Amino acid sequence: MARAAVLCGLGTYLPSRAVGNDDLARELDTSDEWIRSRTGIGQRYLAAPGQATSDLAVEAGERALKSAASGTGPDGADAVVLATTTPDHSCPATAPVVASRLGLGTVPAFDVAAVCTGFLYGLAAGAGLIASGTADSVLVVGAETYSGILDPADRSTRAIFGDGAGAVVLRAGAPDEPGALGPLVLGSDGTGNELIQVPSGGSRRPFHAGQAHSEPADPYFRMAGRQVFRNAVERMSDATTEAAARAGRRPEELDVLVAHQANLRILHAVADRLRLPRERFPVHLDRVGNTSAASIPLALADAVTAGVLRPGHSTALTAFGGGLTWGATTLTWPAVVPV
């Protein structure tokens, strides 16, 4: 039988500084009413000065390893995959420093850059390492410090994004076990590359002193919100339907759909498009905002803690983000206690 990747540990970490909508409204031309009604977000957490993505990733990773060890999981992990849009440095990857700080030694460790879909791409990478026999267990982390790449003057992004980290442990197992990941549906559309982008600092528009460029450097994260919104609804709905079909399930048989927490209106539109009750979509963004690659593990842990997601539930995960990228998968929720 094929080696499946089985989710067996879940850990999360949020920085301590909560920033409410009214706090933002003191600095920017916005209001609690606008942010709540247009996005469903009430507050977000921001990293402390000097707190980097790896610091958040290590906290969440340690907790996921603890969660796995207290259940059916391994003691440690054979590989680390870190999904992030906000690495500590543009070179090298952040995953190796996370692996060594977690005491995992010289295991393979690499970053995955798929913006808000990063966690699903990370799960695919982890499942692939297990299927190929490269690893028997993989720590998959989504960690972000968007606060470091947002334009302080951009109300549309600052209202939405927050910092945080979430992680799962995957172990080799059987495809029919609770926690075994179903087929992963992934996609990308590079024609929408400019809809979500940090324009400067990469090879297209480097920061080098003396580098001639017709436009001034823009080091900040930019998003064309309205176009992204439309794409997000279509791609997440379609990817969920396809992932369910490949796993032999119909969308209406899904008990819980944990969708990337970008905007409450997006979650409702996906539910409506799939003709599913909105109650099946756990909501976490009201308290943490959009945490990009960290949003799915953070929402999973919150749903388990709230009793909304329980062992045996037929579950789908789906996300959409910059690239453009999207993805979905299914699993029967296992008896995992988040830490």
Q: Which residues are designated catalytic?
A: 116, 260, 290
Does 39 bind ligand UT7 (CB under 6 A)? Our answer is yes
Which residues inside 143-172 make contact with ligand UT7, applying CB under 6 A? 155-156, 159-160
Does 120 bind ligand UT7 (CB under 6 A)? Our answer is no
Contact pattern for ligand UT7 over residues 167 through 206, marking x by CB under 6 A: ----------------------------------------
Does 208 bind ligand UT7 (CB under 6 A)? Our answer is no
Q: How far apart are CB 233 and ligand UT7 at their closest, in Å?
A: 9
Question: Can you tell me the distance from the alpha carbon of 297 to that of 11, in angstroms, rounded to the nearest whole number?
Answer: 8
Does 3 bind ligand UT7 (CB under 6 A)? Our answer is no
Q: How far apart are CB 84 and ligand UT7 at their closest, in Å?
A: 14
Q: How far apart are CB 51 and ligand UT7 at their closest, in Å?
A: 22
Q: Are 309 and 258 in contact (CB under 8 A)?
A: yes
Nearest-Å Rg of the Cα atoms of the chain is 19
Between 116 and 141, name the residue whose CB sits nearer to ligand UT7.
116
Contact pattern for ligand UT7 over residues 299 through 338, marking x by CB under 6 A: ---------------------xx-----------------
Which residues inside 231-270 make contact with ligand UT7, applying CB under 6 A? 232, 262-263, 266
Between 9 and 321, name the residue whose CB sits nearer to ligand UT7.
321
Between 137 and 295, name the residue whose CB sits nearer to ligand UT7.
295
Contacts with ligand UT7, residue ranges (CB under 6 A):
30, 34-35, 38-39, 116, 155-156, 159-160, 225-226, 228-229, 232, 262-263, 266, 290, 320-321
